[in-house]
Amino acid sequence: MTSTAESGRAAGGAARTAGARDPLLTVDGLTVRYGRASQPAVNDVSFSLRPGDRVGLVGESGSGKSTLAAAVLRLLPASASVTGTVDLDGHPLTELKPSELRSLRSTRMSRVPQDPLGNLNPVFTVGRQMSDVLSAHQSLGRKERTARVEEALHRVGIGDAAVKRRSYPHELSGGMRQRVMIAMALLNHPDLLIADEPTTALDVTVQAQVVELLRERVAEAGMTLLLISHDVGVVSELCTTVMVMYGGEIVEKGAASDVLTRPTHPYTRSLIAAARGRVPGDGDDPTERVT
């Protein structure tokens, strides 16, 4: 555990006592087990994110990436048992009340999920759902909320925001729904954005647009990014640091330029070879850029 994590808690949940380069998020010895599963889904994971870090978490399906994200956000199902700690600004999240956690999930750290349709309510318009996210954390009049919603939609590249905000989720394309999720995640200006496979469900061309959008928004706000993906190309576009997860553990961690060009763990090598569309072999040029 870092000295930041041990430095005690400030008065008031939102108080920010940490310096600019002190960790924003510190995960220490995190282990998650579902029900009576023999193997933990996340096994003794430790890392920290400093403000402005852009970290990619890569790994094959089932390696524990989403479980790790859910554990950080304290959104795990009741069947999951957790040991280890997650601190935000050195304050343990376990000590927060449910209402404080709900507020923090929008204003300090928020999530872009893999499956927008499953995370939007089918019976309300997207504008209404965004408006609800705003009013849960700030007291704003209806007109102001509408203006903020339209502005947020605009900023994720939705030009006809006044029309689109009146749409129901099923009336929008997959790419448009993911833009809405990104707009929603950014509504309350979080410091940390956790994007769990944000482009996986999208067509390749739309994927590129959403990656570009995330890059712009993250850079503009100076946000800290934890990007989960099994796509090393997307990670190399957006992240400066990479962590590789395998079997619930982080098996490799380092600068993206090193990990993605000179992987040391056998699993990382095969992941990168798969991204290049071939199996790893002696002919691999370790300096070749991953695209």
Q: Which of 26, 48, 66, 188 binds ligand ADP (CB under 6 A)?
A: 66
**DSSP helix/strand/coil, 183:** helix
Helix, strand counts (H, E) of the chain: 12, 10
Distance, CA of 53 to CA of 192 (rounded, Å): 9
CB of 66 to Mg ion, least distance (A): 3
**Residue 34 or 124 having the CB closest to ligand ADP:** 34
Query: Which residue number is nearest to Mg ion in terms of Cβ?
Result: 66
Contact 242, 256 (CB under 8 A): yes
Q: Which of 30, 41, 223, 271 binds ligand ADP (CB under 6 A)?
A: 41
The site string for Mg ion over 65-94 (x = CB under 5 A, - otherwise) reads: xx----------------------------
Site for ligand ADP in 5-34 (CB under 6 A): 34
Contact 186, 217 (CB under 8 A): yes
**DSSP helix/strand/coil, 257:** helix
Residue range at the interface with ligand ADP (CB under 6 A); choices 57-65, 133-141, 154-162, 263-271: 57-65
Side chain identity, residue 1: M
The answer to whether residue 64 forms part of the interface with ligand ADP (CB under 6 A) is yes
> Considering only CA atoms, which of 87, 137, 107, 85 is closest in space to residue 14?
107
By the criterion CB under 5 A, which residues form the site for Mg ion?
A: 65-66
By the criterion CB under 6 A, which residues form the site for ligand ADP?
A: 34, 41, 59, 61-67, 77, 79
